Every structure is written in C-alpha cells, then in structure tokens.
Chains A and B, each alone.
Chain A
Amino acid sequence: DTEVTQTPKHLVMGMTNKKSLKCEQHMGHRAMYWYKQKAKKPPELMFVYSYEKLSINESVPSRFSPECPNSSLLNLHLHALQPEDSALYLCASSQVGLAGGEQFFGPGTRLTVL
C-alpha cells in the first residue's frame, strides 16, 4: 500500500477562521512533509518531520502550524490566513535519511481563503 490520504479534499475558510488539514500514511515512513502548490508551479516545501520531530521549516509564516501526533499522522493547523494562501496543500511521506528514496504524495487539499 503506497497511499497517503488527506482530508478534507476542499476547504473554504474566512480570514478569521481556524481550520486543520489532516494527512495519514501507513507505509511505516518516518519522514512526512507539507508542501504548498500554486497553479502551474511545482510543489513548494513548507515543513518536514523526521521521527515525529520538526526537522525543516522553510521560513513559513506562523499562521501555519504543523503537528505530528504520531508516526502515521500529520496535521497542519491554519489560523488567520490571507487570500494569497489559497493553494493546493500536499502531504507526502518517505523513508528517512540514507534510505531517503521514494517520496509519495497524497491527493491534496484545495484551500480557498476568502
């Protein structure tokens, strides 16, 4: 099973709302990622978790708050977003370190901020 699942598929929120995106994988991967993708652009890395600890934060604004409750789950908490944050948010997972290798993506959550 090489599946990464994400919920919800679509999300519309106002600039004062608080919402969360969820991601789950059962491949035993210990690295999980959040990416942001704008139309006609490649995925842009936001955060990386290795062994449930935040290892990379690509200078993402604090209105995005990641959380990794266990080795299978990854959340992205959203608060006070701006319209320019509207994008496809992708979760991915892979092995860690020397076995880095293949990275699998979920289908994404399409976020619209009004």
Chain B
Amino acid sequence: QKEVEQDPGPLSVPEGAIVSLNCTYSNSAFQYFMWYRQYSRKGPELLMYTYSSGNKEDGRFTAQVDKSSKYISLFIRDSQPSDSATYLCAMSADNFNKFYFGSGTKLNVKP
C-alpha cells in the first residue's frame, strides 16, 4: 500500500465550476499537509499548507484536513482555464524531513 493515494484523473470541468481534489493516506504520524500546482515542464508551486486538522482558505482555494479519516481535500472555486495543471498533495510527519507525495491529479478547465 502506498503512503499517499491520489486519483490521477484527468479531471475535466467547465470554467467557473467548483473543483474538488482529494488524497488519502495511511500514516497517522503525518502532521504537515501541502498542495502543489505544477504546470507542464515547470517546478511545483506551493499553493496551500496546513498543519494538523482543520480548514484553511486563501482566495479561491480551500484546503481541508480530516485526520480522523486520513483524508485531505483541495477545493477550487470559480475555476479558470489558468488552473489547468497537475495538482500534487504532499505530507510529512514531525521530526522528519521526508515528504510523501501523491501521484498527482491532472486538471483541465475548459473555457
């Protein structure tokens, strides 16, 4: 079993839709949760960072962490064609500097 599971997609939505991206994980020691956006042939860009459980909002993006279910989500409101990219979840445990990545979900927002 992989440490982090993420549906690879592709996920195709019309412009303006609400997008929900998800990851599940197996290691209950994970405390730090991140979402990255990666455009083709570019480095990953940090979108959202959450420590422990709860929600965090930044503009059109909302990150949720449910540690009891070992489940994290990223919501994108009013999606734009410029949001078309691969979204990677990543997580890490206390005292470790090892980050575990999901396989990435490819998102396509159609104009």
User: Chain B residues near A50 (CB, 8 Å)?
Assistant: 97
Would you call B98 and A42 a contact (CB within 8 A)? no
Task: Provide the bound-state CA to CA distance between A98 and B102, in Å.
Answer: 22
Given A45-B98, A101-B32: A90 in contact with B43 (beta carbons within 8 A) = yes
Residues 35-68 of B, flagged 1 when their CB comes within 8 A of A and 0 if not, give: 0100001111110010100000000000000000
A100 at the B interface (CB under 8 A): yes
Q: Is B72 an interface residue (CB 8 A)?
A: no
Interface size grouping (class) on chain A? 20 to 34
- Tell me, rounded to whole Å, the shortest Cβ–Cβ distance linking A75 to chain B: 17
Query: How far, in whole Å, are A48 and B46 apart by their CA atoms in the complex?
Result: 19
Q: Can you spell out 30 A-B residue pairs with CB atoms less than 8 angstroms apart?
A: A31-B97, A33-B97, A33-B99, A41-B103, A45-B99, A48-B98, A55-B97, A56-B97, A56-B98, A88-B41, A88-B43, A90-B43, A97-B94, A97-B95, A97-B97, A98-B95, A100-B92, A100-B95, A100-B97, A101-B32, A101-B51, A102-B46, A103-B46, A103-B99, A105-B45, A105-B46, A106-B43, A107-B43, A108-B42, A110-B41
Q: A residues engaging B (CB < 8 A)? A: 2, 6, 31, 33, 40-43, 45, 48, 50, 55-56, 88, 90, 94, 96-98, 100-108, 110
Q: Which residues of B contact A (CB under 8 A)?
A: 31-32, 34, 36, 41-46, 49, 51, 88, 90, 92, 94-99, 101-104
